[in-house]
Amino acid sequence: MPQRTARRAGGRGTRRFTRRDVVVLGVLLGIPVLLDVVIVWGPALASVGLSFTSWDGIGDIHWAGGDNYEHLVEDYPAFWPAVRHNLLWVAFLGLAATPFGLFLAVLIDRGVRFSRFYQSVLYLPVVLSLAIVGFMAQLLLGTDQGVVNTILDNRNDPVDWLGDSDINLWMMMLAASWRHTGYVMILYLAGLKAVDPALKEAAAIDGANERQTFFRVTFPTLRPVNVIVGVITVIEALRAFDIVYAVNKGRNGLELLSVLITDNIVGEAGRIGFGSAIAVVLLGVSLVFVVTFLVQELRGARGK
Amino acid sequence: MAQSSCGGPASPPVRIGHPMSRRELLRGTALGAGAVTLPALLTACGDGPGGDKGEVTVGSNASDAVPKKAFAAAFDAYEKQSGKRVKVNTTEHNEFQQNITRYLQGSPDNVFMWFAGYRMRYFAEKGLLTEISDVWRDFKGFSKALKDQSTHDGKQYFVPYYYYPWAVFHRKSLFEKRGYEPARTWDQFIALARRMKKDGTPVAFCDKDGWPAMGTFDYIDLRLNGYDFHQSLMAGEEAWTDRKVKKVFDLWRELMPYYQKGALGRTWEEAGQGLQRRRTGMAVLGMPHPGSQFPENERDDIDFFAFPEIAPEFGQDAVEAPVDGFLVAKKSRNVEGAKDLLAWLGTARAEDVYLKGDPNNVAVNEGADTTAYSPLQKKSAALVSGAEQISQFLDRDTRPDFAQTVMIKALQDFIDDPNDVDGLVNRIERQKKNIFESAS
């Protein structure tokens, strides 16, 4: 029905719709469009605008040209680590957590014993917010009173899991993956259930072994799920914030772009122009992924 | 939504017992979507607070149990005396700080809690505070140093309430058992730290929260370069690449081997608990930090000594003692009631009531009753009153954006890698220029 409307709206055929129809449809389409513009595009463009200014959130806004970007790239020591950590986060979730989730889904789908039990246990972390996962990580990995160090009994030379900037990011990514894996697993499980068993049987008759069946037959039919999982993985990685903020406010090895934005804009600091410049960088990074996905999707759709 | 509606009914009419057409359903949905956005609009026509002159609202950041209860007792006493009502809106300490700028520009409470010094001046300069010089005229018992901390441009904006000194805290019994002596000079301090490390109780250190290490930086700078240099460094007038600043970090590095490991993963609470469990020997902290982590029956065992002397010409003159107190926002809707409350809060009696419930701080008013003080409070009061100069704290003596976005990371970087001082001070100096020059 919406498709038909769209096609007609451009042509001469609004005659078929009464005035009331037009009003109702206008309102129903108008509200989401308005909300989209006001809530999504308005602030995004405002951030881009503000990123060229200097503003403390109280007084006047001053034009600053590209100063913010220059200071960001050259003088702000947290910036490049944050970019690196964000990309590493994408890579880790994409190359470790997501495949592992798929692996678990395949195992459970094949019907190991107690599969219902595993399914529930692995999915359980998904109901927790990442901030809670962060708090749990602190209970486990605290230097003086954490569970892990207590078990290792290394009081004289404790491992500083969350304070050592060489390892804390990995600990955080592991904790985040714990939650992400369950999420991915459920999505793939739903996808696998929908794969027509006849396809697998046909492959088996053709003499394919299990590996071949999976990679050549099952996996390609999961394409719609793959796209969703890919998008979710990238979103999860780029919006990672609460977990590191809960642990140490995203400092000392846990810098992420989202944290730097918050530090500069939200806190007492009030470097709104500077913070906006960081936000624009994050927008840029996100756009790279969004555009890649869209291009892939459109190509895929045309291919059919 | 029912109680907030002020413009007639907003819910779509639903006819019961009548088959609904698809069109009606659509219309209902559209109205429903409107209803979602409605509550936001409705608040605009509500009656804001502040109409009642008999009530004063106080924005409080005292979210911890002990001070919260102590403040409640103080406001109770005011209510009894004045016959007015005080309504306290408490926000979690850090959250209050994070939101302060928007809070002051939105609809702030009549009176709010905040900090003295640069933190107060910053907002006074931006025109977000109400001048209270008239209230100050009747105050008695505040030293000149305190008045200075409450003043911007010759006008007063702040009523100091209590303070707490920073010093080297330790367990009295541990010092007696091991025969440790309080250090008076830097060399003695390093020797003591070395001995503690050898005895298996290193010097406590924590900076996961980002601010505790600032206390040590401040003290080394104050002792090495003096109060005046420290203040102008904080005001952005000195270069961080100055030899004097590098020397501060060089001295600090001498202490590093004797710290307990893993400072960047440790909160101040954990550091306080480590001291309590005798796992560490001493710690540079503020008075409430170990104080709140010791069980009540062991608090008498907490002792401290002043941060040791480094350059003889500056001795142990300066004391770092952050002052907390009360202010009135420009947008306060009940300035009269606010000033009445402030006038009372500035009396010695108001401080007595508070400190009865919170033994981790010291009164600022000279007229306050010190007979009920614990030995630790007495010693603290003596330390502060004997000080030639009082500094606030790094994040209270400089611009908030500089403290938050530059210094926290810089000090954590130094703790992580104490050897690259040149690179460190260069990075700080470049960012300092960006921030202080962009100041409007």
Are A228 and A187 spatial neighbours (Cβ–Cβ below 8 Å)? yes
B10 & B61 share domain: no
Q: Is the pLDDT of residue B108 over 90?
A: yes
Are A65 and B420 spatial neighbours (Cβ–Cβ below 8 Å)? no
Selected for mutation to probe chain A from B93, B125, B401 (highest A CB count within 10 Å) is: B401
Are B171 and B275 spatial neighbours (Cβ–Cβ below 8 Å)? yes
Q: What is the pLDDT of residues A221-249, one digit of tens each?
A: 888 888 889 889 998 999 899 999 988 88
Q: Which of B67, B48, B249, B280 is nearest to B161 (CA)?
A: B67
Range of the domain at B137: 56-163+331-365
Question: What integer pLDDT is reported at residue B45 of this predicted model?
Answer: 37
Q: What is the DSSP letter of B327?
A: E
In chain A, which residues have their Cβ closer than 8 Å to the Cβ of B27?
24
Contact call for A59 and B102, based on CB within 8 A: no
Ramachandran angles phi, psi of B112, nearest 5°: -135, 155
The domain that holds B184 is classified in CATH as: 3.40.190.10
**Number of Cβ within a 10 Å radius of residue B406:** 26
B257 at interface of A, judged by CB pairs closer than 8 A:
no
B210 & B293 share domain: yes
> How would you classify the pairing of strands B158-163 and B166-171?
unpaired
What is the number of H-type helices and E-type strands within chain B?
Answer: 19, 13
Q: Which of A145, A10, A20 is nearest to B276 (CA)?
A: A145
Q: In this predicted model, which residue has the larger pLDDT, A3 or B197?
A: B197
pLDDT grade for A35, boundaries at 50, 70 and 90: very high
Residue at B183 is within a domain: yes
B358 & B209 share domain: no
Q: Is the pLDDT of residue B279 over 90?
A: yes
In chain A, which residues have their Cβ closer than 8 Å to the Cβ of B126?
56, 58-59
B225 at interface of A, judged by CB pairs closer than 8 A:
no
Among B98, B274, B439, the residue with its CB nearest the CB of A266 is B98
Instruction: Give dist(CA A60, CA A64) in Å, integer.
Output: 12
B293 at interface of A, judged by CB pairs closer than 8 A:
no
Residue at B233 is within a domain: yes
B280 & B205 share domain: yes
Contact call for B412 and A251, based on CB within 8 A: yes
pLDDT grade for A303, boundaries at 50, 70 and 90: low
B95 & B145 share domain: yes
ipTM, two decimals, is: 0.77
Contact call for A267 and B400, based on CB within 8 A: yes
B159 & B171 share domain: no
**Residue-wise burial string across B275-290, b where 16 or more C-beta atoms lie within 10 A, e elsewhere:** bbeebbbbbbbbbbbb
Q: Which two tokens stand for residue B158?
A: 């702040």
Contact call for A163 and B265, based on CB within 8 A: yes
Q: Is the pLDDT of residue B268 over 50?
A: yes
pLDDT grade for B39, boundaries at 50, 70 and 90: very low
Q: In this predicted model, which residue has the larger pLDDT, B225 or A145?
A: B225
Instruction: Give dist(CA A254, CA A169) in Å, integer.
Output: 6
Contact call for A251 and B416, based on CB within 8 A: no
Are A224 and A233 spatial neighbours (Cβ–Cβ below 8 Å)? no
- A12 Cβ contact partners less than 8 Å away, ≥ 6 residues apart: none
Residue at B25 is within a domain: yes
Residue at B383 is within a domain: no
Q: Is B243 exposed, middle or buried (0-12, 13-18, 19+ CB in 10 A)?
A: exposed
Q: What is the DSSP letter of A96?
A: I
Q: Is the pLDDT of residue B440 over 70?
A: no
B214 & B253 share domain: yes
Are B329 and B130 spatial neighbours (Cβ–Cβ below 8 Å)? yes
Contact call for A157 and B261, based on CB within 8 A: yes
Contact call for A164 and B263, based on CB within 8 A: no
Instruction: Give dist(CA A180, CA A158) in Å, integer.
Output: 29
Chosen domain end from B11, B26, B45:
B45
Q: What is the pLDDT of residues A238-292, one digit of tens each?
A: 989 999 998 888 888 899 999 999 889 887 778 899 999 999 999 999 889 888 8
Contact call for B208 and A248, based on CB within 8 A: yes
Question: What integer pLDDT is reported at residue B157 of this predicted model?
Answer: 96
Task: Return the residue of A nearest to B424 by Cα.
Answer: A77
- For chain B, the helix, strand and coil percentages under 3-state DSSP, each to the nearest 5: 50, 15, 35
pLDDT grade for B28, boundaries at 50, 70 and 90: very low
Q: What is the pTM of this model?
A: 0.81
Are A233 and A90 spatial neighbours (Cβ–Cβ below 8 Å)? yes
Question: What integer pLDDT is reported at residue A130 of this predicted model?
Answer: 87
Task: Return the residue of A nearest to B197 by Cα.
Answer: A156
Q: How far is A270 from chain B (nearest CA, A)?
A: 7
pLDDT grade for B52, boundaries at 50, 70 and 90: low
Q: Is the pLDDT of residue B369 over 80?
A: yes
pLDDT grade for B427, boundaries at 50, 70 and 90: very high
Q: How far is A220 from chain B (nearest CA, A)?
A: 39
B31 & B121 share domain: no
Q: Which of B380, B414, B408, B379 is nearest to B394 (CA)?
A: B408
B405 & B316 share domain: yes
Radius of gyration of chain A measured on its C-alpha atoms: 25
Question: Distances in Å between the alpha carbon of B364 and those of A214, B180, B348, B379?
Answer: 75, 32, 8, 14
Contact call for B401 and A56, based on CB within 8 A: yes
Number of domains in chain B: 3
Instruction: Give dist(CA B263, CA B249) in Å, integer.
Output: 17
| Helices A223-238 and A168-194, packing angle to 10 deg | 160
Task: Return the residue of B nearest to A249 by Cα.
Answer: B209
B303 & B408 share domain: yes
Residue at B390 is within a domain: no
Residue at B378 is within a domain: no
Contact call for A269 and B30, based on CB within 8 A: no
Domains of chain A (ranges plus CATH)? 2-38 (no CATH), 79-254 (1.10.3720.10)
B35 at interface of A, judged by CB pairs closer than 8 A:
no
**Number of Cβ within a 10 Å radius of residue A95:** 11
Selected for mutation to probe chain B from A21, A38, A252, A260 (highest B CB count within 10 Å) is: A252
Question: Distances in Å between the alpha carbon of B50 and those of B173, B175, B217, B237, B331?
Answer: 53, 55, 44, 42, 11
Task: Return the residue of B nearest to A53 by Cα.
Answer: B438
User: Within the 152-211 window of chain B, which residues sit less than 8 Å (CB to CB) from chain A?
Assistant: 200, 208-210
What's the CA angle centered on B150, arms B145 and B154, to 5 degrees? 95
Q: How far is B37 from chain A (nearest CA, A)?
A: 10
Question: What integer pLDDT is reported at residue B21 of this predicted model?
Answer: 52
- The percent of residues in chain A predicted with pLDDT above 90, rounded, is 40
**Number of Cβ within a 10 Å radius of residue A81:** 17
B137 at interface of A, judged by CB pairs closer than 8 A:
no
B295 & B351 share domain: no
Selected for mutation to probe chain B from A27, A58, A152 (highest B CB count within 10 Å) is: A58
B404 at interface of A, judged by CB pairs closer than 8 A:
yes
Q: How far is B309 from chain A (nearest CA, A)?
A: 31
Q: How far is A154 from chain B (nearest CA, A)?
A: 12
Residue at B278 is within a domain: yes
B292 & B419 share domain: yes
Terminal Cα-to-Cα distance of chain A (whole angstroms)? 23
Task: Return the residue of B nearest to A78 by Cα.
Answer: B409
In chain B, which residues have their Cβ closer than 8 Å to the Cβ of A269?
400-401, 404-405
In chain A, which residues have their Cβ closer than 8 Å to the Cβ of B33?
31
Q: Which two tokens stand for residue B357?
A: 């419930």
Task: Return the residue of B nearest to A64 by Cα.
Answer: B438
Q: Is the pLDDT of residue B165 over 90?
A: yes
Instruction: Give dist(CA B36, CA B409) in Å, integer.
Output: 43
Question: Distances in Å between the alpha carbon of A65 and those of A278, B60, B406?
Answer: 15, 39, 22
Residue at B375 is within a domain: no
**Number of Cβ within a 10 Å radius of residue B23:** 12
